[in-house]
Amino acid sequence: MTLSRLSAALLLGASFGLGGAALAADVDVPGVPESEDAIAIPTHNWSSQIVMSHVVGDLFEKLGYNVEYTPTDSQAVYEAIRKGDVDLEMEVWEGAYGPAFEAAKAKGGIVDAGNHDAVTREEWWYPEYVKDVCPGLPDWKALNACAEKFAAPETAPKGRFLGGPVDWLKHDAERIEALDMDFSVVNAGSASALWAELASAEKRKAPIVLFNWTPNFIEAVYKGEFVEFPAYGEGCKTDPAWGENKTETYDCGNPPDGYLKKAAWDGMEKKWPVAFKLLQEISFTNEQIAKMAELVDVEGLEADEAAEEWLDQNEAVWQPWLDGLRS
Ligand code: TMO
């Protein structure tokens, strides 16, 4: 911190008890913050995204930026960014949001802020003991052959596929239709409802197939596998002629090695150039993201506490990003 900023912070501290957020920067980069307006960071309904958003918000605050968190629907967020209602997105999952992001980008107003190191997969998943009930897994045809074993009262005689909240928009019903499967989708109301059903099924060793993804805390707690659907290919989600069903889209699985992207409002680079540069630099690994989820879903921390804990444990990861902004 320069002398003049230090004395300004002390003065403010003296008159208001504690320093104002914007002047309490622990990393001094000349000219930052370029605007005192809060950077609006949207949060969704799964743990890693909320924790990661707070991690990045805390890093912005270390630089002296003001930050606000805005709970936002995970599909609608791409339009919200285009309009500048919120300023960035930390987790664009290719399987779930690739199409929404690409559509928004084509309209203008949202930019690609680079990929995380992480490789992602979002897919139907079952705990390991289900293999004994349903031989031939992870092949989707084997799953379908024993669909009735997954039946619930509201789906019988069809099997129940427990999907995530509807805003995750996974097109599971379209896939079931395109592949002519004997399953019905039941959507969980929240991520924690998914995990509660998994825990309960696991205790009874009851057959269950549900939506899951990686990186997630699940791999640290349960053994299990993703279902293998016909391999994803370009065109599966848009071109009915693609794949084994010639008249329907979604006759494939999600990409097994999807990207995880950051995105930003296209005005961010002008309004907060250094924050935008930091956003571009930031890249998390599978392991780091799984840990963010674990701090909440296993260790029971609130998202903001989990972010602080994560930052405490990973200074060697983020300090170089901040140091790089001085040059
Ligand atoms: C977007 N999600 C990780 C919930 O699949």
pLDDT value at residue 143: 98
| 123-146: average pLDDT | 97
In the predicted structure, residue 100 carries a pLDDT above the cut 60? yes
* Ligand 1 atom nearest to 164, measured from its CA: 4
Rounded (10°) CA dihedral 302, 98, 166, 136: -100
pLDDT value, residue 10: 45
Q: Is 213 in the pocket of ligand 1 (CB under 6 A)?
A: yes
Ligand 1 contacts CB of residue 93 (under 6 A): yes
Share of the chain above pLDDT 90, in %: 87
How far is the centre of ligand 1, averaged over its atoms, from the C-alpha of 252 (Å)?
18
Encoding tokens for residue 218?
């699940």
Determine if the pTM surpasses 0.85.
yes
Q: pLDDT digit string (tens) for 220-265?
A: 999 999 999 999 999 998 999 999 999 999 999 999 999 999 999 9
pLDDT surpassing 90 at residue 99: no
Report the alpha-carbon distance of residue 164 to residue 211 in Å, rounded.
6
For a mutational test of ligand 1's pocket, the pick from 52, 162, 168, 169, i.e. the residue with the most ligand atoms closer than 8 A to its C-beta, is 168
Q: What pLDDT score does 24 carry?
A: 59
Residue 128 has pLDDT above 80, yes or no: yes
What is the spatial distance between Cα 282 and Cα 304, in angstroms, rounded to a whole number? 19
How high is the pLDDT of residue 77?
A: 97
Q: What is the C-alpha to C-alpha distance for residues 264 and 88, in angstroms, rounded to an integer? A: 4
Task: Give me the CATH topology for the region 121-226.
Answer: D-Maltodextrin-Binding Protein; domain 2 (3.40.190)
Neighbours of 241 (CB within 10 A): 10
- Give the side-chain half-sphere CA count within 13 A for 222: 26
What mean pLDDT do residues 204-225 have? 97
Using 50, 70 and 90 to split pLDDT, how confident is the model at 178? Answer: very high
Q: Stretch 15-22: mean pLDDT, rounded? A: 41
Q: What angle do CA 211, 127, 245 make, to 5 degrees?
A: 50
Mean pLDDT, range 10-22, rounded to an integer: 41
Q: Could you give the angle at the alpha carbon of 79 between the alpha carbons of 75 and 85, nearest 5°? A: 115
User: What CATH number labels 3-117+259-326?
Assistant: 3.40.190.10
> Could you tell me if 110 and 265 are in contact, meaning their C-beta atoms sit under 8 angstroms apart?
yes
Candidate of 90, 122, 254 to mutate for ligand 1, largest count of ligand atoms within 8 Å of Cβ: 122
Distance 270 CA to ligand 1 centre (A): 30
Taking residues 20-38, what's their average pLDDT?
81
pLDDT of 20 > 70? The answer is no
pLDDT band at 14 (very low <50, low <70, confident <90, very high): very low
Pair 55, 322: CB distance under 8 Å: no
Mean predicted confidence (pLDDT) in 98-109: 94
Per-residue pLDDT band at 326 (split at 50, 70, 90):
confident
Task: Quote the pLDDT of residue 139.
Answer: 98
Is the pLDDT higher at 21 or at 314?
Answer: 314
Question: Could you give the C-alpha distances from 315 to 289, 319, 323, in angstroms and in order?
Answer: 15, 6, 12
CB 284 near ligand 1, within 6 Å:
no
User: What is the position in ligand 1's atom list of the atom closest to the CA of 191?
Assistant: 4
- Determine whether 25 is exposed, middle or buried from the number of CB atoms within 10 Å of its CB (0-12, 13-18, 19+): buried
Listed in order, the ranges of the chain carrying CATH 3.40.190.10 are 3-117+259-326
Ligand 1 centroid, distance to 1 Cα (angstroms)? 39
Computed over every residue of the chain, the mean pLDDT equals 92
What are the residue ranges of CATH 3.40.190.100 in the chain? Answer: 121-226
Residue 318 reports pLDDT greater than 60: yes
User: Residue 96 C-alpha to ligand 1 middle, in angstroms?
Assistant: 7
Our answer on whether the CB atom of 46 is closer than 6 Å to any ligand 1 atom is: yes
Residue 206 has pLDDT above 60, yes or no: yes
Give the pLDDT band of residue 13 (cuts 50, 70, 90): very low
122 Cα–ligand 1 center, Å: 7
Q: Give the β-pairing of 67-71 and 210-214.
A: unpaired
Ligand 1 pocket check for 118: Cβ under 6 Å: no
